[in-house]
Copies of this chain bind each other. A is one copy, B any other.
Amino acid sequence: MTSYAEDLILPRHNSLGWLIAVLGKQLAEDLDQRLKTMGLNIGVWPTLFALWEEEGLTQTELAERCMTAHYTTTRTLDTLEKMALVERRPHPTSRRALQIYLTQQGKELRHSVLQQAIACNKQYLDRLSQKEAQTLIQLLNKAAGTR
């Protein structure tokens, strides 16, 4: 195996994996706290976020966008349906697929929840200059292969 320099991981401040884990934990806990004041939690956030971006996705499409397993999506949607925030509708052309739509109540939550998520991100970005924040977002997209 190729041998890499240890200073890519030690001290831990040099490690991409550790930094991402620290920031991910902070962001998730922060958002979870904010969501709980609105009767939600971090478990339903990726699904709602995806639907606020685009309604009418099938469960398979939703699972992909949430980076979660299809059986996890099944249960998250059960929860959200019980909360009357989303509804499953028959797909217009495929009788085995379901399309997921927001209820009126689910749509009304959008603005206040997104504001909380934005405030949450802003807490960390505010430690950087505006130019640095732009650079960080750009480099993260490049590293993650999302752009």
- Residues of A that sit less than 8 Å from B by CB: 1-6, 8-28, 31, 46, 49, 53, 67, 112, 114-115, 117-122, 124-125, 127-128, 132, 135-137, 139-147
Instruction: Specify which chain B residues have a CB less than 8 angstroms from the CB of A140 in the assembled complex.
Output: 16, 19-20, 23, 136
* Across-interface contacts of A21 in B (CB, < 8 A): 24, 27-28, 46, 67
Given A8-B121, A16-B27, A22-B146, 16 more pairs with CB closer than 8 A: A1-B112, A4-B115, A9-B117, A10-B53, A11-B53, A16-B137, A16-B140, A17-B121, A19-B137, A19-B140, A20-B24, A22-B67, A125-B143, A132-B142, A136-B139, A139-B139
